[in-house]
Chain A
Amino acid sequence: MIVATGKSILNRIGIGKIKIYKAPEYKINEGLIEDPAHEVQRFNDAVQKAIDQQGVLYEKALQTAGEESAAIFEAHQMMLEDDDLQDAAREIITSQKRGAEYATKTAFDEYAQMFAEMDDPYMKARSADLIDVEMAVLDVLMGNDTDSLQGTEPSILVAEDLAPSETVKLDKSLLLGMITREGSSNSHTAILARSMNLPSLIQCKDIDDSWDGKLAILDGYNGCVYIEPTKDLIDSLTAKRNEDLKKEALLQELKGKPSVTLDGRKVRVYANIGGPSDLGSVHENDAEGVGLFRSEFVYLNSKEAPSEEEQFTAYKRVVETLAPKLVIIRTCDIGADKTIDYMNLDKEENPALGFRAIRICLTRKDFFKTQLRALLRASAYGNMGIMFPMIISRWEVVEAKAILEECKAELLREGHKIGKYELGIMVETPASVLCADELAEEVDFFSLGTNDLTQYTCAIDRQNAKLERFSDTHHPAVLKAIQMTVDAGHRHGAWVGICGELGADPTLTETFLRMGVDELSVNAKSVLPLRKIIRSTDLSKPAIKD
């Protein structure tokens, strides 16, 4: 096995035989010619044909690679149409009595050189474009057949460098990957590779003609290629590739589509996030909003209690970036297993049943107000929900709301803007389920925290391995509690979602939909798989019992 490294363009894997791609050699006759008029005519015809070809490539790239990549060929057309360039070539033919090929090479090379010598890296890269159009004209003049260079079998193409016109001419259905010795990540080849989603390695200095026809794996994750890889490597990277392909197919298929059942029930599929760094995954997985933004990160990543300004900046960034999508931010949920030094919390016998979350916040009102003020200020920048955790009694919600109103009045007096927001609570204690009717009167939404709800309902510590036999994540008591919560919420006009791990359990999706759950908030990776299940569910048909 040989391993060669390069710079990877995409985190993708390509497996297949190597095909060495060699551009035709241009043997240019430098001798004098007899009939300049004829050569000028040949040159004019060839340029026109090359311009037409670039038009065809433009259309082809538009379909396979998108507008940005296709624009290259439009620029190529304009370069070919340039009077100075054409005049320079014709001048060489008439005054130096040379052939059209020689004139083309000399004139185009001179312009390519001019760009190559420029300081600006973008302009420097344009010299490759001139070489590319030069080859297009030369291919026409010399009758080169460039279509057959790729071979007829699916393969990983290995080349010194690939011009944009070469890249786009390639039959994509035969292309498993590209490896070049040259090229920069700004080159059109890299741009095209990205938009065509091809695993590619550039600046791979060790490419060798002897690789031709050998089995290889291009590992874009690690920026390397394995020639004649071991069986173990083939197995593990094939599995990884298949996983990637499956994920991508799902993304392609479901992105931008609504989460709606066959009989027309819409469900909101949101993502759970832990901080601004998760924003990318919300977009990538096309989540329709954020159902649980755990605000703990602002507390856990800090040596002292985070200031209003720090918190405001973090919340604003998330709310603003995702607007107009709804972002539900859960207020501080520390205590229990999440302890922080500067909070000076006492050690407790039974932390899960102890001083935590809303209980801390209602006790240390100033600490709570700092967060509420930051949240209210961020609400002006998008669509926000504020959610209180660990509620058991109505008075807790009433008191928390009163503090929120107090903050609001202060902020308005200080001249801050406040937006609209929805208000909700986590339903994660059996008490809140049993009192759901009166709690629903106080809020816009419920979000079921099934992890704690299961633990408290069944009195089972999920971390305790000895309890495995007794533990049942689908315990009927938990499912009944969810149904009760949904019903109570709906009786009072509050919508009900699930933000615990159970929400992502595909075997329960249909059950939840039948219960009337309005929203499922899950880890971002589960968003599209859930959407797939929802879109193939038909609630008008009787449920299948297993």
Chain B
Amino acid sequence: MKEINFTVTDPLGIHARPAGILVKEAKKFASKITVWKGDKSCDMKKLLALMGMAIKQGENITVQFDGADEEDCAAAIEKFLKENF
């Protein structure tokens, strides 16, 4: 399993449309991707659940990757988060 930490800098946080694109990106990989904010977690491949986390600017999230392609997956998602949020 791989794990990354990320702090959201986008003023709107992880909101509707970019969250949708993030989900699309996540779905390209076979690994299970879990987003943690505090003690709440959700599957990154599920848009409404991800939006339901209400991740705001300045908040810290941890993302866990579990599966055969976890290395590539973690690298791609980390890059995507940095560029978009």
Closest Cβ of chain B to A310, distance in Å, is 31
B16 with A85: CB separation less than 8 A: no
Shortest CB distance A106–B (Å): 15
Chain A residues with CB under 8 Å of B15's CB are 122-123
Say yes or no: A78 contacts B54, CB within 8 Å.
Answer: no
* B56 lies within 8 A of A78 (CB): no
CB-based contact B16/A126 at 8 Å: yes
Contact with A along B34-54 (1 / 0, CB 8 A): 000000000001111101101
Q: Are B16 and A111 in contact (CB under 8 A)?
A: no
CB distance from B8 to the nearest CB of A (A): 12
Chain A residues within an 8 Å CB radius of B13? 120, 122
The distance from the CB of A484 to the nearest CB of chain B, in whole angstroms, is: 57
B48 and A120 form a contact (CB under 8 A)? no
Bound together, the chains give a CA A123 to CA B52 distance in angstroms of 8
Residue in B17, B47, B48, B49 with the greatest tally of chain A CB atoms within 10 Å: B48
Q: Is A495 an interface residue (CB 8 A)?
A: no
Contact A123 B51, beta carbon cutoff 8 Å: yes
Judge whether A381 is part of the interface by a CB distance below 8 angstroms: no
**How many angstroms from the CA of A317 to the CA of B45 in the assembled complex?**
45
Least CB distance, B50 to chain A, in whole angstroms: 9
Known: A82-B48, A84-B48, A126-B51. A74 touches B56 (CB 8 A): no
Which chain A residues lie closer than 8 Å to B45 at the CB level?
83
Measured between beta carbons, the chain B residues less than 8 angstroms from A84 are 46, 48-49
Contact check, A123 vs B46: say whether CB atoms are below 8 A apart.
no
Is the pair A123, B17 in contact by a Cβ cutoff of 8 Å? no
From A75, A77, A83, A85, name the one whose CB has the most chain B CB atoms within 10 angstroms. A75
Given contacts A75-B20, A82-B46, contact A120 B51 (CB under 8 A): no
| Inter-chain contact total with CB atoms closer than 8 Å | 45
CB–CB A111/B20 < 8 A: no
The B interface, classified by DSSP as helix, strand, loop or mixed, is helix
Least CB separation from A130: chain B residue: B48
Q: Judging by beta carbons under 8 Å apart, are A74 and B54 in contact?
A: no
**Is the CB of B23 closer than 8 A to any CB of chain A?**
yes
Q: Provide the bound-state CA to CA distance between A77 and B16, in Å.
A: 11
Q: A120-B54, A122-B12 are in contact. Are A83 and B17 (CB under 8 A)?
A: no
- The CA-CA distance from A80 to B23 in the complex, in Å, is 13
The number of chain A residues touching the other chain, given as a range, is 20 to 34
C-alpha spacing A119/B56, complex, angstroms: 11
Residue A508 at the B interface, CB < 8 A?
A: no
Which of A81, A82, A126, A129 lies at the interface centre, i.e. has the most chain B CB atoms within 10 A of its CB?
A82
Given A122-B12, A123-B54, A126-B51; A83-B46 close (CB under 8 Å): yes
Bound-state CA distance A383–B57 (Å) is 36
User: Which of A74, A85, A118, A122 sits near B48, CB closer than 8 Å?
Assistant: A85
Whether A115 pairs with B46 at a CB distance below 8 angstroms is: no
Say whether A118 contacts B54, CB under 8 Å: yes
Residues of A within 8 A of B48 (CB): 79, 82, 84-85, 111
Q: Do A129 and B56 have beta carbons less than 8 Å apart?
A: no
Are B16 and A75 in touch, CB under 8 angstroms? yes
Min distance, Cβ B9 to any Cβ of chain A, angstroms: 16
Name the B residues within 8 Å of A71 (CB-CB).
Answer: 17
Give every chain B residue within 8 A of A74 (Cβ-Cβ): 17, 20
Give the complex CA separation of A79 and B48 in angstroms. Answer: 7
Query: Binary interface profile of A, 108-152, with partner B (CB < 8 Å = 1, else 0)?
Result: 000100110011101100100100000000000000000000000
> Which residues of the partner chain B approach A123 to less than 8 Å between Cβ atoms?
15, 51, 54
B56 proximity list for chain A (CB < 8 A) = 120
Contact between chains at B17 and A119 (CB < 8 Å): no
| Nearest CB in chain A to that of B42: its residue | A84
Within 8 A of A (CB), among B4-34: 12-13, 15-17, 20, 23-24
Which residues A60-117 have CB closer than 8 A to chain B? 71-72, 74-75, 77-79, 81-85, 111, 114-115
**Interface of A toward B, CB cutoff 8 Å:** 71-72, 74-75, 77-79, 81-85, 111, 114-115, 118-120, 122-123, 126, 129
7 A-B residue pairings within 8 Å (CB atoms): A74-B17, A75-B16, A78-B47, A79-B48, A119-B54, A123-B51, A126-B51
Which 6 residue pairs across A and B have the least CB separation, nearest first?
A78-B20, A75-B16, A75-B17, A82-B48, A82-B47, A71-B17
